[in-house]
Amino acid sequence: MQARGSRQWLAAIPLTGRFYILFGILLLSVAGVLFGALRATSLQSSASADLARVAAVQRSLDRALTLHTAIAAELATAGNHPQNLLSTLRTQLDLTWSMAAAPEVQTITESLRQPASNYFESAETYVNNTAASDWAFADLEPRRAALETALRDAMTRMRAVLFRVETRVLTQADRADSVTAWLIAGAVFASLFAGFALWLVAHSIQSSLRSVGEVAQALAAGDMDNRCDTHGHDEVGGLARMINLLADTMQGMLTRLRSEASRSTFSNQLVEALEMADSENEADKVIARAMGTISEVHPMELLLADSSRAHLERACVHPKTGSPNCSVESPYSCIAVRRGHPQIFSDAEALNACPKLLGRMGGALSAACVPVNFMGRALGVLHVTGAKGKPPNPEQIAQLTALGVHAGNRIGTLRAFERSQLQASTDSLTGLTNRRAAEEVLANLLAVDSAFAVVMADLDSFKRLNDTMGHEAGDRALKLFADTARAVVRDRDHVVRWGGEEFALLLPGVNAERAAEVVGRLRTALAQAHLLTGTPIFTASFGIADSSMARDRETIIRLADEALYRSKQAGRDCSTVGDPALTGTPSVRRERDQGAVVDITQVARGS
């Protein structure tokens, strides 16, 4: 804990600041060592200088005493006059007084001035006045003794001073040795402290860099939740914050990429599933499964416009949570459809919420509405509800948007294909299946080896009807026959406009005899239709064949066609069953100018 605290304390100091502190510590240590060394040297030099000056004074006094003793010996010998010695003594004393010395030494040397002055005065008088030698000598002797006493006293005092100075020099020397030892110890301590400080700084940097490196390595390994400790304010702390910022940015990018990948996976799977749906009903089942994938708790429904595009019908609902029961009735009554993009309502009771959300069972709720379009045209809406304040999250909204887009594309495509197929297989005038579609039905019946009958029908004297009554009357006649035939046959039967005024009836599970009964009902119903509608009167001839006569489509159709030709030859307005033994009869039919006269009333009565 203390090490971590010290690292945090050091981390608050920039790296350059740490090195400046370390440099300051070293500089102070060196300055302290130098100051101590200079101080010790200065004290020892001062003490040595004092000793030298005291010793010089001591030697000078010793020389002066020696000279004084020699002068006294010369003076004691009769007839000697030591002028040179007196001059030398005077010079020696002047030298002693001129020496730089401590105040104590100067006091000692100054104490010799008066005795020396008295002595030199008497000595000069004695040497220069030979006539009065007795009294001069008598005057000189006490002054000589006084000077000698003063010199000896000065010598004694100087020895005491010299002793004290020597003692002080030795003391300073010992102190200098002690200071030197302390300086050495201080230098060692300063070196150790500087080394420790350097280690501490290096360790803090290494620890910080190691921590940053571990986080960087974890991030590189894919652990985007790992972050650096950013308590420090140094350069490493700044680097840690930058790495954390980079990690946050990368994590956000990865989150978005994962979200996009998830949406892309959902969209790809949805597209593949919808592509395998061959009908709108199958597409609705895929959409319901996709609802369950998007959320397991939100009720959902798909409302699609009917063929008139004026009403919305519930196409599919969530397989588990069911339908939210939206009351919208038409596409453009939905605000999401009108605005063309998803609408999110967090609170159904909010002022700007969709009014159709109010009054739902369960109280207040939230909702999301996603429009379903195809090529710019509204097909419907995806409606989702949730608890109040908890609408689908952005990820779910993105998936719902993708579901709306792909569902709209597939359903629109299926509807467009269905319409094109219907247009391609349906006669535009009568609304009947055309010849191409009928051939596919026959092929399917033959493929499953199912029994069926084929009835070929042709309106009698249709050319004359067109020529005399006009093409509009001819169209009405074609529509009347088509409507009458549809009303007579079963739901599983097929009424086909084969071409022009020629029709075909495909009757699964029926033989030729049963087909003849159907034709009889058709002829009766057609006669009754003439009486009820007031259309121009016309009749039809019929040829019948069934699957027991042949097992290929072309042969069966040819048999029915040949039977129709024979009905025409028999006077029209009748039916004939095909005969395989007569195969080869020309099947090309020509309308005669004059048709048979038909008593519609008798036909209607079934006579």
Kindly give, in sequence order, each residue whose CB lies less than 8 Å from that of residue 462, ignoring residues fewer than 6 positions away: 474, 477, 500, 501, 538, 591
Would the pLDDT of 584 be above 60? no
User: For the chain, what is the domain count?
Assistant: 3
- 299 and 378 share one domain: yes
Q: How far apart are the first and last CA of the chain?
A: 118
Within-domain flag for 578:
yes
Asked if 399 and 387 count as a contact pair (C-beta separation under 8 A), the reply is no
Question: Do 77 and 139 belong to one domain?
Answer: yes
Under the banding of pLDDT at 50, 70 and 90, the label for residue 11 is: low
pLDDT of residue 574: 93
Lowest mean pLDDT, pick from 32-41, 362-371, 468-477, 592-601: 592-601
User: Which pLDDT score, from 0 to 100, does residue 306 have?
Assistant: 79
Cα dihedral across residues 397, 401, 404, 410: positive or negative: negative
Q: What is the pLDDT of residues 76-114, one digit of tens each?
A: 665 556 677 778 878 887 887 887 677 877 788 788 788
107 lies in the same domain as 32: yes
- Model pLDDT for residues 292-307, shown as the tens digit of each residue: 989 888 999 999 987 6
Domain presence at residue 226: no
**Is the torsion defined by CA of 541, 547, 551, 553 positive or negative?**
positive
Lowest mean pLDDT among 175-184, 348-357, 499-508, 544-553: 175-184
Q: Report the alpha-carbon distance of residue 78 to residue 18 in Å, rounded.
A: 91
314 and 173 assigned to the same domain: no
CA–CA distance, 572 with 2 (Å, rounded to integer):
119
Asked if 483 and 399 sit in the same domain, the reply is no
Greatest mean pLDDT among 137-146, 466-475, 502-511 lies in: 502-511
Q: Which of 376, 393, 422 is the last residue of a domain?
A: 422
Structure confidence by residue, pLDDT tens digits, 223-239: 777 777 666 666 666 77
Buried/exposed code over 371-382 (b: 16+ C-beta within 10 A; e: otherwise): bbbbeeebbbbb
pLDDT, tens digit, 9 for 90 and up, residues 188-209: 777 777 777 777 777 777 777 7
Instruction: Band the pLDDT of 279: cuts 50, 70, 90.
Output: confident
In a domain? residue 248: no
519 — pLDDT class (breaks 50, 70, 90)? very high
Please identify, among 209, 233, 252, the residue that sits at the C-terminal boundary of a domain.
209
Close Cβ partners of 163 (under 8 Å, ≥ 6 residues apart): none
* Contact indicator for 522, 606 with CB cutoff of 8 Å: no
Segment among 136-140, 226-230, 452-456 with least mean pLDDT: 136-140
- Residues 431 and 345 both lie in one domain: no
Tell me what pLDDT residue 317 has.
92
Q: Residue 348 above 80 pLDDT? A: yes
Domain co-membership, 330 together with 295: yes
Res 46 pLDDT > 90: no
Average pLDDT (339-360) is 86
Average confidence (pLDDT) over 498-504: 91
How confident is the prediction for the chain on average, in pLDDT?
A: 79
Domain assignment of residue 237, yes or no: no
What does the pLDDT read at residue 356? 85
Q: Structure tokens of 116?
A: 């020396």
Compare 403 and 218 and report the one with higher pLDDT. 403
Share of the chain above pLDDT 90, in %: 18
Nearest Cα to Cα of residue 576 among 526, 530, 529, 540: 540
Domain end point (choices 209, 229, 264): 209
CA separation for the pair 138, 115 (Å, rounded): 16
Strands, E, within 264-308: which ranges?
Answer: 300-305
* One domain for residues 379 and 482: no
The answer to whether the Cα torsion of 277, 283, 285, 286 is positive or negative is: positive
Which has more confidence, 366 or 254? 366
Residue 258 lies in a domain: no
Q: CA-CA distance, 410 to 403, in Å (whole number)?
A: 10
CATH number of domain containing 589: 3.30.70.270
Confidence band, pLDDT 50/70/90 cuts, at residue 577: very high
pLDDT of residue 607 exceeding 60, the answer is no
pLDDT at 335 over 90: no
State whether 301 and 438 are in the same domain: no
**pLDDT given for residue 82 in this prediction:** 67
In a domain, residue 224? The reply is no
Burial (0-12, 13-18, 19+ Cβ within 10 Å), 391: buried
The two beta strands, 377-387 and 365-374, are antiparallel
CATH number of the domain enclosing 313 = 3.30.450.40
pLDDT, mean of residues 304-328 = 85
CB 200 within 8 A of CB 207: no
Looking at 263-272, 445-454, 494-503, 588-597, which range is the least confident one?
588-597
Cα separation, 606 vs 599, in Å, equals 11
- Identify which of 471, 593, 596, 457 has the alpha carbon closest to the alpha carbon of residue 536: 471
Print the domain residue range for 556: 426-604
Q: What is the reported pLDDT for 76? A: 66
Residues 434 and 551 in one domain: yes
pLDDT at 560: 92
Closest to 511 (Cα-Cα) out of 550, 464, 544 = 544
Asked if residue 6 and residue 140 are part of one domain, the reply reads: yes
Residue 236, in any domain of the structure: no
H/E stretch holding 496 reads strand 494-499
State whether 363 and 445 are in the same domain: no
Sign of the dihedral through C-alpha 123, 126, 127, 128 = positive
In a domain? residue 244: no
DSSP label of 318: B
